[in-house]
Amino acid sequence: MALVSNSGFATTWNAPSGNLLDVQHTVNSASGGDTVIIPSGTFVWNGTLSINKSVILQGQGETSTFINRATPINQTIEFVAIKPFSDIPVRVTGINFNSKSIGQNYHRLPCVSVWGPKGGNWGLTQVRIDHCYFTGGVNAVEWNFYAYGVVDHCTFLDCPYAIIAYADGDYAWSRPIAFGTSNEVYAEDCTFIMDSQISYFDTLTDEDFGGRMCMRHCTIDFSKFTMRDEFGSIWMTHGNQAYWKGSQNQDNVRGTVNLELYDNTVTTNEAYRITYLRGGQTVVYNNVFSFQNCRPPIVSMTEEEGYDRSSNPLENWFHPLRKTWPAEDQVNNSFFWGNTVNGTAQSPESFAIWKAPSDNIFIKEKRDYWTTPPSESTVTKYPPLGPPSFSTYPVNRYYPTVTAYKGFTYPHPLTNTGFTGGRLGPGGTRRGE
């Protein structure tokens, strides 16, 4: 039996051990708004802890509570799956997750996954993952469907796809599209480290299916990373991987809605690409980049609707190829300013078209991207005006022109709140605790 303490409105449940069955039983026994404590120690899990209610899952700290993957491992499971049935606060804090045993190949589910609804009139907006440590594997924290929240004060060591923001396809464009809102996955005050131990690395973050992400006030340290040819990017926004087909149920191949990157510090030893934009709208500003043995552009942009991939059938997505601007969900309304590279201000060489010549049709400075903040003069009209897009392409659910910018409240409001009677309250704990 779990040990229980009742403090005012809250109940704190102490799991009898950190074994998966004991923790799951304790979560099942808890009520909405309660805290479940995992004790100190090292525990091996070969299954998934399911959370479908408003709880705080709390370890004793990243140097005290360790959850390791079993060996041999069921490769298709996550450690923690957050999947409530309504928009309720959920928090995971103070745990060290270690997936090093499974290597760094594709098709590994994350340490922590967050699952919102697909479409509908509500989403998860109160999920916080904080003060955790993630080591190895692929996919540390993954957000799916209509789910937004914050990852803060976490450390990621040798984690390809450290944070992923996947949404619910075409439904994501039915929600207002704007920078600086709470409707994004936020990563702030986190540390990301890649070193010589890494055996595989494509991108540190990924967005797709209508994903939205903001990374701010983070430290990215690749100073000991040595595998240049395995370096894909630090940030990547997917583009669409098929033309829009006219149905929300079919169009999960739409790419990224937006990405915001600011006030980050990036140090890398080897790299050929830093921010890889394949679609959506992006702001990159006030970041400090330090490059040691490389001189990559800080932003590389491409559009795949005009790129002939016939030599690679697995990526030959578009028939016929598009010949004229604009493309569906292409790079648009993007702004890069105030960044420094090795102590000097950004330059035109800091921004590059990735695959000429087709990219030169779709991506042009002062039409699709600017090296200044948004203003009244930064006006671009979307969406595509003709074939091969469908005539029913959703004009009312596309990217509005951006003429001003303001970042979202920092720190994120969820980092300053706790639980009170199942609802968020001030101070980081339940009232009465």
Report the distance separating Cα 397 and Cα 378, nearest Å.
20
Could you identify the residue written with the tokens 């070193």? 195
Mean pLDDT of 367-380: 95
Least-confidence region, from 30-44, 354-368, 400-414: 354-368
Note the pLDDT tens digit of each residue in 276-320.
999 999 999 999 999 988 889 999 999 999 998 888 888 888 989
Higher pLDDT, 361 or 425: 361
Mean pLDDT of 190-213: 90
For residue 430, the model assigns a pLDDT of 28
Phi, psi of 172 (to 5 degrees): -60, -30
User: Over pLDDT 90: what percentage of the chain?
Assistant: 68
Q: State residue 22's pLDDT score.
A: 98
> Model pTM?
0.93
- Span 95-141, pLDDT tens digits: 999 988 777 665 567 899 999 999 888 999 999 999 999 998 888 99
Domains in the chain: ranges and CATH = 3-426 (2.160.20)
Among candidate residues 73, 78, 71, 168, the one with its CA nearest the CA of residue 116: 168
The answer for residues whose C-beta is within 8 angstroms of residue 74's C-beta and 6 or more apart is: 46, 47
- For residue 405, what pLDDT is reported? 97
Q: Say if residue 386's pLDDT is above 70.
A: yes
| Rounded Cα distance, 328 and 173, in Å | 13
